[in-house]
Structure 1
Amino acid sequence: MSPPRVTVCVATCNQRGFIAQCLRSVVEQHADADLRLLVGDDASDDGTSQIVAALADEYPGTILPLRRPRRVGAFANMRDLIACADGDFVARMDGDDYWLPGKLQRQLDYLQAHADCAAVYTNAITVDAAGNRIGLFNDVGDARFDLAAMLRRGNFLNNSSVLFRASGRRAWLDVEVPQIDYRAHLWHARHGHLAHLGEPLAAYRVATRGSMVAEMNDRVRALYWEAIQSVPRGAVADADLAAGMADFMRKTAFHALRSGNASLVHEWLPRVMAASPVARWRLLALLASSVARGAAGEAWGRLADAARGGGHAVLYRR
């Protein structure tokens, strides 16, 4: 049998310090696959375009630059890349992240062995802008999740690690408005289970310049809520959907506490309660339970980190 075609969609904009490492980490995977990289360069003006062009010359037919003549934004850039992707499997990543050796083959093996899996993710190390290791993206381990679990747990998956079947392109192509990765994860979970490989096989760069999470927290919060709302009411039990809303409200309340912005709770709690599929008292009970679990998990994680001597910070805890 011929090897599967894998298209890797890389979105970049003004990431000259990171893009070469990103692209080389993909072409050096040595996976049993016909590999193609589509690089969406969103009108970079810092030298990123020249680096991408040089790497395309070095790997002709493998790295294909798609430079935007004017800036279109992160969502439109990625959506167009995924529309251009062909073959059997599609991966997506941001231009400031990179993969570790063996990642792609591990994921291909899993998808080919599990026909009911829609997408497979891996854990990631976290690094700063200089490349220094900070810790881990999550502490989930090897696991599989359905839609209900993804709602109850919230978003903890590393988006630059995903590999999905070509049919999963609809997670982006069916959406014409900006979305965050959580909405795509929920779409995949409606069409099969999601697998997570606990071994860190990617690297996620934390809070770099241009990071949407770092610089647009209010916008990310609104898009996160829209992701929850995108799940059809009949796709999960009311209790699971309500649990997802409670988890969202917990995150919002914690951010309000850390930032000293109590208006976030006043803004979002009435909206969440109005949209809840269960009674208000039940939603508040779910919220209290979510807060307790979140606080306990954070406390336990910090104790475990201290017992190991530190250096194992976890961005998203179980």
Structure 2
Amino acid sequence: MAVHNGFPFLAGAVQSVLDQAHRDFEFIIIEDASSDGTGDWLESQASADDRIKLIRHYQNKGLTKSLNRGISVASGEYIARMDGDDVAMPERFSRQLDFLRANPSVVLLGSEVELINELGFSLGNRGHSTDHDLIRRDLLSGNGGALTHPAVMIKASALHQVGGYDECFAVAQDLDLFLKLSELGRVANLSDVLLKWRQHPASINRTRACEWQQVKQIAIRNCIERCGADQIAREMFPVPQSFNFPATLLGQATFCQSRGERRASLKLALRSIQSGESFVKASLFIIKQLANVCVERLFKV
């Protein structure tokens, strides 16, 4: 967690991490030269819980450099992100750890998040894809909703392999990182809500939205340079599976029956008999369909 002037939401965010069902973790907090008393308050919290490792900056360095500072001292196998105005569900760490350990090819894991306002009232779920290919396409299109930054857990070895966050990015550093990680391994989102993601007037996604829109183009352009335009085109526009429409009349009858088009399926089966295509199979198909109709009407009575 990197925080600058974290009040009034910081206490709830910190407590939600300390209250995790999974207890074995180090909680690295980078206090980035706050002026509202955040640093002193965090000092008191660190003295009360030895899981908190507090790093203080006395000159503001910004989010990206602060996060890299935290990564440099982290000793865990996995690194979870968290912001100072959000609320983690108690089972967040345990659910994400279980999934990552069961799926070693996944290097980046997010979750569904519930949006809340400054008062904590629900604004509904954000709506995340869970499939790697869909998330990857969202990232390539610059969709910031592909993964929610403070909800992710990352395999530390993969994070070091891509060099952490690119400090050229003051914003959209998460998009740039997620694109790199999705090139290295699989990415996913859990479908369960494991974070309450707070939206308020001081949220970065509001205060720096215009800048984010501009910078994300650089992240995508860098990805195209790394992977090549042909590879990106294949990912963005995968070849659709061919639709093999049945060639025989009986096959078409079965096709219609599977979609609830009973009248059409019976007509096609009769034509199959009349054409000499398949007398026995088509007859049995019709008998079965008529028997189903009789049974349905019997039970309705």
> What is the TM-score normalised by the length of structure 2?
0.70
Aligned to 2:19: 28
Query: One-letter code of the match for 2:90?
Result: P
Structure-to-structure mapping, 1:109-258, within 5 angstroms: 109-140=98-129, 142-145=130-133, 147-148=136-137, 150-152=139-141, 154-156=143-145, 157-170=147-160, 171=162, 173=164, 175-178=166-169, 179-180=171-172, 181-209=174-202, 211-233=203-225, 235=227, 238=230, 240-241=232-233
Question: Counterpart of 1:72 in 2: which secondary structure?
Answer: coil
Aligned partners of 1:139, 1:148: CA distance in 2, in Å?
12
Counterpart of 1:14 in structure 2 is 5
Equivalent residues in 2 for 1:254-293, closer than 5 Å = none
Superposition map of 1:63-82 within 5 A:
63-82=52-71
Assess if the C-alpha contact under 8 Å between 2:25 and 2:76 holds in 1: no
CA drift of 1:149 comes to: 5.7
CA–CA separation in structure 1 for the residues paired with 2:34 and 2:12: 17
Highest Rg: 1 or 2?
A: 2
SS at structure 2 position matched to 1:154 = coil
- The structure where strand makes up a greater share of residues is 1
The residue aligned with 2:29 is 39
State how many pairs are aligned: 232
Does the 8 Å contact 2:43/2:54 carry over to 1?
yes
Give 2:176's aligned amino acid.
R
Q: Which secondary structure state, in structure 1, belongs to the residue aligned with residue 167 of structure 2?
A: coil
TM-aligned CA distance change 1:37 to 1:192, over 3 Å:
same
Write the letter of the residue equivalent to 2:41. I
Over the aligned positions, Cα root-mean-square deviation in angstroms equals 2.4
Deviation at 1:232, TM superposition (A): 4.4
Q: Per-residue deviation at 1:174?
A: 6.2
- Give unpaired runs (5+ residues) of structure 2: 238-301
How far off its partner does 1:237 sit?
A: 5.5
**CA distance, structure 2, for counterparts of residue 125 and residue 220 of structure 1:** 22
Paired amino acid for 2:166: V
1:167 to partner: Cα distance: 1.5
Q: Percent identity?
A: 24
Once the two structures are superposed, what CA deviation does each residue of 1:99-132 show, in whole Å capped at 9, x if it has no partner? Answer: 0121111110111011111111001111111212
Q: Does structure 2 conserve the Cα–Cα contact (< 8 Å) formed by 1:152 and 1:241?
A: no
Which whole-Å CA distance do the structure 2 matches of 1:26 and 1:128 have between them?
20
| Structure 2 counterpart of 1:219, one-letter code | E
1:89: how far off? 0.5
Correspondence for 2:96: 107
Question: C-alpha deviations, 1:15-66, integer Å up to 9, x for none?
Answer: 12111111111121121x6300111111111121122122112212x01111
- Seen in structure 2, the aligned counterparts of structure 1 residues 234 and 41 have a Cα distance that, compared at 3 Å, is closer
